Copies of this chain bind each other. A is one copy, B any other.
Amino acid sequence: MAKKKEKPIILITNDDGITAPGIRNLIEAVKDLGKVVVVAPDKPQSGMGHAITIGQPLRMHRVDLFGDTEAWQTTGTPVDCVKLAVDKVLHRKPDICLSGINHGANHSINVIYSGTMSAAMEASIESIPSIGFSLLDYSVEADFTASRFYIQKIVSSLLKQKMDKHLLLNVNIPAVPLELIKGIKICKQAYAKYKEEFDERKDPHGKNYYWLTGEFINFDKGTDTDVWALKNNYISMVPVQFDLTNYELKKQLEKKNLFK
């Protein structure tokens, strides 16, 4: 008799912290597709980028938040969580790593600042296929119905494939009802940025302090970008890489021979 195929192990993390509604909805979406294990930060870690914790030790505690699903909270960053999960919780690589569902957009340049995507990238570096999910709604009352539907579809489809071991996807979901979503569009990262302005204030002692604020500006007018897709009610899916070499500039510099 053929050996029964083992359930895939699905590692889940996020950057909004283990109590955020987004991670609960991600678990709901995929819990029937494999054995889910959650290792997530014990507090919000938005904007942490690819930060890791070097100067301090980490704590990790088992928590009972998601019924039958094994879950751990850590004092670390999203990237720390992935490292801890592999080395100290699973003692092996999961079959896939899912990060999110982030409360708010991680399209375009946000991929670089995003703790959600950095956790996914860490897994990808470790040869674990990985996906970051974000919903374009910051509210704690955000409606995750459409997100759950499409995440289930994407993850179940990928688990049936032979995935590239470095597969890394940045998936953003528009904040519209399920019936308005036109489908999934494979995109490139839009060139957009924030025009920063610091809000300068004085404390009660007369000393200055600064709050980071910024206006999002999309410079990319293409219809092949994630920003375009989301504006047009598509789910955007950007394949991401961790080789940051700019090969075009490399060629140019080699040709110019500036530093000989």
> Is B47 a contact of A53 with CB atoms below 8 Å?
yes
Chain B residues near A46: list those with CB within 8 A. 54-55
> Is A245 a contact of B253 with CB atoms below 8 Å?
no
> Is B49 a contact of A49 with CB atoms below 8 Å?
yes
Q: What is the bound-complex CA distance between A256 and B86, given in angstroms?
A: 30
User: Which stretch of A26-34, A95-103, A189-197 is in the interface?
Assistant: A189-197
> Is B253 a contact of A237 with CB atoms below 8 Å?
yes
Interface presence of A48 (CB below 8 A)? yes
How far, in Å, is A148 (CB) from chain B's closest CB?
Answer: 15
Q: Which of A215-260 contact B (CB under 8 A)?
A: 237-247, 249-250, 253-254, 256, 258-260
Q: Which of A188-211 contact B (CB under 8 A)?
A: 188-189, 191, 193, 196-198, 200-201, 207-211
Chain B residues near A183: list those with CB within 8 A. 259-260
Chain B residues near A243: list those with CB within 8 A. 188-189, 191
Interface presence of A36 (CB below 8 A)? no
User: Which stretch of A1-9, A109-117, A139-147 is in the interface?
Assistant: A109-117
Residue-wise interface mask of A (29-52) relative to B, using a CB-CB cutoff of 8 A (1 in contact, 0 not): 000000000000000101111111
Interface presence of A158 (CB below 8 A)? yes
Contact of A54 with B47 at beta-carbon distance under 8 Å, contacts A109-B242, A198-B83, A243-B189 already known:
yes
Chain B minimum-CB-distance residue to A193:
B125
Residues of A that sit less than 8 Å from B by CB:
44, 46-55, 57-60, 79-80, 83-84, 86-88, 109, 111-113, 118, 121, 125-126, 153-154, 157-158, 161, 164, 167-168, 183-184, 186-189, 191, 193, 196-198, 200-201, 207-212, 237-247, 249-250, 253-254, 256, 258-260
The 3 closest A-B pairs by CB, nearest first: A49-B50, A239-B249, A241-B246
